[in-house]
């Protein structure tokens, strides 16, 4: 469907589509409207489409634009506050605020820090016209988003306070009245096209040439401007909004009209002639371009390789659609047990129907290879191709693809480097060292040095040319094919050099170590003199001296230490911060990174209670003076231009001194950038992903994710929920606590007044379609969750079991009837997180334990062709800090409930035979946790030791 390609360039529309807030036919309508108003964005045209929730669209546009929600509701801000602000402003500015529905709501610190600013709430903060109003205020202000209905309600309370408009609005100022519009005269409307307004609820004032009698002018000014849909010709507009008009139907089914030209395919001119093999050392040429040097013989060889490349398999782009699917639109998920399933078919993008895309792929060897290896999906290539054509980018398709979101960028750049015959840098612990990088960089001019850092080009090592024996400088970058990189390196006037590929993370790590980002708070901590606790401080004291504690709390060093801790935790990718009080006048701060707790900092000569009091003071909903009860709070901070939330847990703990009350604090880092919204990014195998997607497309039934604490169950469930959210369904979740807000989902937080069982019973009366239950802990919760799944609701939940078959046994032992289990559950997914071996310091295992390998299921053929690795654990390694592992990925076993498995459960007598269920599931294609881990080992991503640790119970 090439015509729908416009939606891929609009981030707001894509977010609405993936979130289920809009349908394809509504987007198609908006595309038709946009043809009449090309200057408008597609998401604004959506506002004119019947059935689209304006509030949802505007809220999503604000979120994508980085606008925060405004602190506004039915009672905030007070009328007195608003009137006080309005009295400070000239009448014309006051009138503009009313006309544009801008509501002063609070004073707060701006996004970028500094002085406090006035927050103005609006339902459409992305309108550029609002900048004019802000400039007229005469004081610093920032926009925040609030629903239109609340703004109208609050502004209606102030209608008597609204000043009259004394002068007509100028072209630079906001329109004088939202009701003013174009007069419906033939002279004024002849030849004009209908254009959706930038703010549909507030049409523009259009000046009409000529004069009208006073009465006629007044009447014309009072008429509202026709909406984009009203201005459609009769042949292109339908009276009933329940169906799709002819023009939109043509858009959805037939593609681009013949009269619209298709953009020329832009490809890399040398993409078909790249040599394959290891090149000699590169000497500095007179001019370098973005193509590898190739001899005629190499060109012929490359041409032969291209001709022999198999055609790319057809893939589907799965999006929500209400159109009836035909046989060509059905997804091939052939299985003997699928006869009873009625899964809605996804819409297909067929490569044969897109000759321009097919030609572009055939000309780009990098993209062809990526699709052949299934590194990227066809719909991702399609989006990149549309962006390349629409923005008329001269870059090759593979580079446009690498710059897209949700693609494995390192894999794309590495594959491109191999095809362009650039060597892959051999990463080793401690290389390049910060001293080496700085010493080489300092020999270059400052302008060149800054440009090298900007492009991510780093000196790696000094090596000898194997052919000439001359010394050469090796430079590494994540994209050695860029023309600007070659031009810049040519400016260095190096006698001999060589460009090599290295992952972007390694480049950034080397630059950060050579030129580290400053943590101003940590610098202040180190600069401040040590605090003298004095002779009166005694660790044996049984009671806390509140006066001494207050004096120490007010020390700036403790506040700086706390802020530095938050910054470093985010930058190092920690999931949790642990504050350990110590009786020996010090505080230990630990970070949990990749599931492992490591000590980050120890602060001496600090009263532990003082530092804990600082944290409690900085946390919302935490009482500093409460030391005998558990407390939960939260913190928000802007760190590196991102809003990060922290959940604080305070717990009383025992102390060596019985009467001295101590507390432990654990802070969970909630970084929205880590939330995975696409199941494809979880690292599931192809078969597991296929089964997962099939299960969540069912209209009812249960999907259970099982595993120990910290195995990533919540991450998987959040990704699944993002796939099923839609305005057509009511999605509710029961969580304790709610960690991440999901647009379009009603998330219920449990508390001491609302328990899990009560919440489940209440949900049954709340007309749900999809429900997520945090965990089935007992029989009552399990029975209610099973009841939801058996009464037409798609239900997600979790259990704590070792593998998928044991989840069935666990429910049976809870007292759930076998027939209810059999026909309620669609899929059970057992999950673990396995650590990935550090790419910088991993060591080849030249003498693996062959007996152990065969016991773990490796065949002799796999052992012979696989290079096994061990964790280097080099303390000088800057990537893993001596741990030996960096990063984690999920491994799963997905047991889909076929007809055979359901019958086995129903016929169970006295107990569930887990082994029989496992054998049948494996026979039907289930991959066990150990099999999944073995694939990761074979790929060189982890070690046999880690495989054994994670799957020790999967016998």
Query: DSSP letter string over 710-759?
Result: TSSHHHHHHHHHHHH--TTS-EEEEESS--S--TT-EEEEP-SSS-HHHH
pLDDT higher than 90, residue 715: no
Containing 613, the helix (H) or strand (E) segment is helix 608-618
Query: Rounded to whole angstroms, what are the CA distances from 256 to 2, 121, 229, 355, 498?
Result: 6, 41, 21, 13, 47
**Do 609 and 544 contact (CB within 8 A), yes or no?**
yes
Average pLDDT estimate for 442-446:
82
Return the pLDDT at 733.
Answer: 93
**Do 367 and 397 contact (CB within 8 A), yes or no?**
yes
Label residue 180 by pLDDT band (50, 70, 90): very low
Label residue 656 by pLDDT band (50, 70, 90): low
pLDDT higher than 90, residue 702: yes
Q: Where is pLDDT greater, at 150 or 542?
A: 150
pLDDT higher than 60, residue 319: no
* Residue 874: closest CA among 847, 840, 835, 834: 840
Give the dihedral sign, CA 410/415/417/418: positive
The two three-digit tokens of residue 355, written as one number: 């000759």
Return the pLDDT at 224.
Answer: 41
Label residue 344 by pLDDT band (50, 70, 90): very low
Q: Where is pLDDT greater, at 596 or 556?
A: 596
Q: What is the pLDDT of residues 73-108, one digit of tens each?
A: 777 788 777 877 777 777 777 778 888 888 888 877
Q: Half-sphere exposure (CA, 13 Å, Cβ side) for 698?
A: 26
Label residue 128 by pLDDT band (50, 70, 90): confident
The backbone torsions φ and ψ at residue 612, rounded to the nearest 5 degrees and listed phi first, read -65, -35
Please give the Cα distance from 380 to 370 (Å, whole number).
11
| C-beta atoms surrounding 427 within 10 Å | 19
The backbone torsions φ and ψ at residue 180, rounded to the nearest 5 degrees and listed phi first, read -65, 145
Q: Where is pLDDT greater, at 658 or 894?
A: 894
pLDDT higher than 50, residue 753: yes
Tell me the domains of the chain and their CATH numbers.
Answer: 2-66+177-222 (no CATH), 79-161 (no CATH), 296-314+350-419 (no CATH), 434-514 (no CATH), 523-674 (3.30.450.90), 679-833+889-928 (3.40.50.300)
Please give the Cα distance from 604 to 587 (Å, whole number).
7
Q: What is the mean pLDDT of the chain?
A: 75
* Residue 833: closest CA among 778, 880, 884, 889: 889
pLDDT above 90 covers a percentage of the chain that reads 15
Q: What is the pLDDT of residues 4-56, one digit of tens each?
A: 556 667 888 887 876 778 887 788 888 888 888 888 888 888 888 888 888 88
pLDDT higher than 70, residue 564: yes
Label residue 3 by pLDDT band (50, 70, 90): low
Q: Where is pLDDT greater, at 405 or 728?
A: 728
Q: Which of 355-359, 518-522, 597-601, 901-905 has the lowest mean pLDDT?
A: 518-522
Label residue 744 by pLDDT band (50, 70, 90): confident
604: burial class by Cβ within 10 Å (0-12, 13-18, 19+)? exposed
Label residue 769 by pLDDT band (50, 70, 90): very high
The two three-digit tokens of residue 918, written as one number: 């496992």
Extract the runs of DSSP E, i.e. beta strands, from 789-921: 794-799, 825-837, 843-844, 869-870, 885-896
Average pLDDT estimate for 234-258:
39
pTM of the model: 0.51
The backbone torsions φ and ψ at residue 303, rounded to the nearest 5 degrees and listed phi first, read -60, -40
**Do 843 and 872 contact (CB within 8 A), yes or no?**
yes
Please give the Cα distance from 398 to 367 (Å, whole number).
6
Collapsed DSSP state (helix, strand, coil) of residue 224: coil
Return the pLDDT at 953.
Answer: 60
Report helix angle 446-455 to 483-491, nearest 10. Answer: 150
Report the chain's terminal Cα–Cα distance, integer Å. 48
Return the pLDDT at 409.
Answer: 85
pLDDT higher than 80, residue 298: no
pLDDT higher than 70, residue 169: no
Say whether the peptide bond before residue 737 is cis (omega within 30 degrees of 0).
yes
Label residue 839 by pLDDT band (50, 70, 90): confident
Please give the Cα distance from 655 to 660 (Å, whole number).
6
Which residues have CB under 8 Å from 322's CB, separation 6+?
23, 24, 25
Collapsed DSSP state (helix, strand, coil) of residue 19: coil
Please give the Cα distance from 227 to 485 (Å, whole number).
50
Return the pLDDT at 275.
Answer: 40
Q: What angle do CA 260, 265, 267 make, to 5 degrees?
A: 170
Please give the Cα distance from 427 to 423 (Å, whole number).
12
Q: What is the pLDDT of residues 346-381, one digit of tens each?
A: 445 566 668 888 888 888 899 999 998 888 888 888
Average pLDDT estimate for 225-242:
37
Please give the Cα distance from 947 to 869 (Å, whole number).
12
Label residue 901 by pLDDT band (50, 70, 90): very high
Q: Which of 353-362, 625-634, 658-667 has the lowest mean pLDDT?
A: 658-667
Containing 187, the helix (H) or strand (E) segment is helix 186-189
Q: What is the pLDDT of residues 462-514, one digit of tens each?
A: 887 666 767 788 899 999 988 888 888 888 877 788 899 998 888 887 887 78
Average pLDDT estimate for 229-254:
38
Return the pLDDT at 182.
Answer: 37
Q: Where is pLDDT greater, at 865 or 159?
A: 865
pLDDT higher than 50, residue 886: yes
* Residue 951: closest CA among 720, 937, 883, 887: 937
Say whether the peptide bond before residue 77 is cis (omega within 30 degrees of 0).
yes
Please give the Cα distance from 673 to 67 (Å, whole number).
16
pLDDT higher than 60, residue 863: yes
The backbone torsions φ and ψ at residue 852, rounded to the nearest 5 degrees and listed phi first, read -65, -40
Return the pLDDT at 730.
Answer: 92
Q: What is the pLDDT of residues 684-695, one digit of tens each?
A: 778 888 888 888
The two three-digit tokens of residue 405, written as one number: 């979101």
pLDDT above 70 covers a percentage of the chain that reads 72
Return the pLDDT at 438.
Answer: 83
Q: How far is CA 871 from the centre of its chain?
A: 30
Q: What is the pLDDT of residues 770-824, one digit of tens each?
A: 999 988 888 888 998 998 898 889 999 999 888 899 999 999 999 998 989 998 9
Please give the Cα distance from 112 to 116 (Å, whole number).
10
CB neighbour burial string for 786-807, b if at least 16 within 10 angstroms, e if fewer: bebbbeebbbbbbbebbbbbbb
Task: For 802-824, give the DSSP string.
Answer: SSHHHHHHHHHHHT--HHHHHHH
pLDDT higher than 90, residue 577: yes
Please give the Cα distance from 499 to 460 (Å, whole number).
10
Return the pLDDT at 115.
Answer: 65
pLDDT higher than 70, residue 919: yes
Task: For 73-114, give the DSSP string.
Answer: SSS-S-HHHHHHHHHTS-HHHHHHHHHTT-EEEEEEE-TT-S
Return the pLDDT at 583.
Answer: 67
Label residue 846 by pLDDT band (50, 70, 90): confident
Label residue 203 by pLDDT band (50, 70, 90): very low
Task: For 907-935, give the DSSP string.
Answer: T--SS--HHHHHHHHHHTTPPPHHHHHHH
Q: Where is pLDDT greater, at 450 or 406?
A: 450
């Amino acid at each position: 469907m090439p015509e729908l390609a416009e939606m891929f360039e609009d981030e707001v529309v894509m977010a609405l589509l993936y979130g289920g807030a809009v349908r394809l036919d509504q987007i198609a309508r908006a595309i038709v409207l946009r043809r009449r108003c090309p200057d408008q964005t597609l998401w604004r045209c959506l506002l004119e489409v019947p059935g689209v929730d304006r509030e949802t669209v505007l809220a999503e546009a604000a979120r994508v634009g980085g606008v925060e929600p405004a602190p506004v509701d039915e009672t905030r801000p007070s009328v007195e506050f608003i009137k006080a602000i309005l009295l400070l402003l000239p009448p014309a500015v006051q009138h503009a605020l009313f006309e544009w529905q801008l509501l002063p709501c609070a004073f707060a610190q701006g996004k970028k820090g500094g002085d406090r600013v006035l927050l103005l709430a609006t339902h459409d903060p992305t309108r550029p016209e609002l900048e004019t109003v802000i400039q007229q205020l005469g004081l610093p202000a920032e926009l925040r988003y609030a629903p239109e209905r609340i703004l109208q309600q609050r502004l209606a309370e102030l209608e008597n306070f609204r000043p009259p408009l004394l002068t007509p609005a100028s072209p630079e100022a906001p329109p004088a009245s939202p009701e003013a519009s174009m007069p419906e005269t033939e002279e004024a409307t002849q030849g004009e096209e209908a254009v959706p307004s930038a703010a549909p609820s507030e049409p523009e004032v259009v000046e009409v040439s000529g004069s009208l009698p006073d009465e006629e002018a007044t009447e014309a000014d009072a008429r509202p401007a026709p909406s984009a849909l009203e201005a459609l010709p009769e042949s292109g507009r339908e009276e009933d909004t329940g169906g799709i008009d002819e023009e939109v139907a043509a858009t959805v089914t037939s593609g681009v009209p013949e009269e619209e030209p298709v953009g020329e395919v832009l490809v890399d001119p040398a993409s078909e002639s790249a040599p394959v093999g290891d090149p000699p050392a590169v000497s500095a040429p007179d001019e370098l371009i973005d193509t590898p040097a190739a001899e005629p013989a190499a060109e012929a060889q490359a041409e032969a390789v291209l001709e022999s490349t198999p055609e790319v398999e057809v893939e589907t782009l799965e999006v929500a659609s209400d159109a009836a699917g035909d046989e060509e639109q059905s997804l091939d998920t052939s299985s003997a047990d699928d006869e009873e399933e009625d899964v809605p078919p996804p819409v297909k993008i067929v490569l044969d129907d897109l000759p321009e895309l097919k030609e572009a792929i055939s000309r780009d060897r990098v993209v062809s290879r990526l699709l052949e290896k299934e590194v990227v999906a066809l719909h991702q290539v399609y989006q990149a191709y549309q962006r390349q054509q629409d923005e008329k980018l001269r870059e090759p398709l593979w580079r446009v693809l690498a710059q897209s979101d949700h693609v494995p960028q390192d894999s794309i750049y590495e594959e491109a480097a191999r095809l362009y015959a650039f060597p892959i840098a051999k990463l080793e612990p401690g290389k390049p060292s910060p001293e080496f990088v700085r010493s080489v960089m300092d020999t270059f001019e400052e302008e060149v040095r800054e440009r090298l850092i900007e492009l991510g080009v780093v000196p790696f090592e000094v090596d000898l040319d194997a052919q000439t024996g001359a010394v050469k400088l090796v430079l590494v970058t994540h994209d050695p094919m860029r023309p600007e990189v070659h031009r810049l390196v040519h400016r260095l006037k190096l006698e001999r050099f060589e460009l090599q590929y290295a992952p972007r993370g390694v480049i950034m790590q080397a630059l950060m170590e050579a030129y580290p980002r400053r943590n101003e708070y940590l610098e202040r901590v180190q600069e401040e003199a040590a605090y003298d606790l004095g002779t009166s401080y005694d660790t044996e004291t049984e009671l806390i001296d509140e006066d001494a504690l207050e004096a120490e709390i007010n020390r700036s060093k403790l506040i700086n230490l706390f802020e530095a801790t938050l910054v470093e935790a985010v930058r190092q990718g920690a999931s949790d911060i642990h504050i350990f009080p110590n009786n020996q006048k010090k505080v230990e701060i630990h970070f949990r990174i990749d599931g492992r707790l490591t000590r980050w900092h120890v602060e001496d000569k600090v009263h532990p209670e003082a530092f804990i009091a600082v944290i409690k003071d900085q946390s919302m909903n935490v009482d500093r003076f409460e030391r005998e009860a558990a407390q939960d709070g939260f913190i928000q901070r802007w760190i590196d231009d991102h809003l990060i939330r922290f959940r604080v847990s305070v717990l009383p703990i025992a102390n060596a001194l019985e009467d001295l009350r101590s507390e432990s604090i654990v802070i969970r880092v909630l970084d929205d950038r880590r939330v995975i919204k696409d199941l494809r990014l979880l690292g599931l195998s192809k078969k597991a992903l296929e089964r997962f997607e099939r299960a969540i497309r069912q209209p009812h039934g249960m999907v259970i994710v099982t595993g120990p604490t910290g195995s990533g169950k919540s991450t998987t469930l959040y990704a699944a929920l993002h796939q099923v959210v839609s305005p057509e369904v009511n999605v509710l979740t029961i969580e304790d606590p709610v960690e991440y807000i999901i647009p379009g989902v009603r998330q219920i937080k449990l508390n001491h007044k609302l328990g899990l069982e009560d919440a489940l019973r209440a949900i049954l009366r709340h007309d749900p379609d999809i429900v997520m239950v945090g965990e089935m802990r007992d029989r009552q919760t399990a029975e209610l969750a099973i009841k939801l799944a058996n009464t037409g609701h798609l239900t997600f939940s979790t259990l704590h079991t070792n593998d998928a078959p044991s989840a069935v046994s666990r429910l049976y032992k809870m007292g759930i009837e076998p027939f209810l289990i059999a026909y309620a559950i669609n899929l059970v997914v057992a999950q673990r997180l396995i650590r990935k071996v550090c790419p910088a310091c991993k060591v080849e295992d030249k003498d693996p334990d062959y007996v152990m390998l065969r016991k773990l299921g490796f065949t002799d053929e796999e052992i012979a062709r696989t290079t096994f690795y061990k964790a280097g654990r080099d303390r000088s390694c800057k990537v893993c800090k001596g741990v030996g592992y960096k990063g984690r990925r999920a491994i799963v076993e997905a047991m889909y409930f076929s007809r055979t498995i359901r019958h086995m459960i129903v016929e169970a007598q006295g107990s569930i035979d887990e082994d029989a269920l496992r054998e049948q599931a494996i026979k039907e294609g289930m991959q066990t946790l150990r099999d999944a881990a073995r694939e990761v080992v074979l790929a060189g991503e982890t070690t046999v030791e880690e495989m054994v640790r994670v799957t020790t119970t999967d016998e």
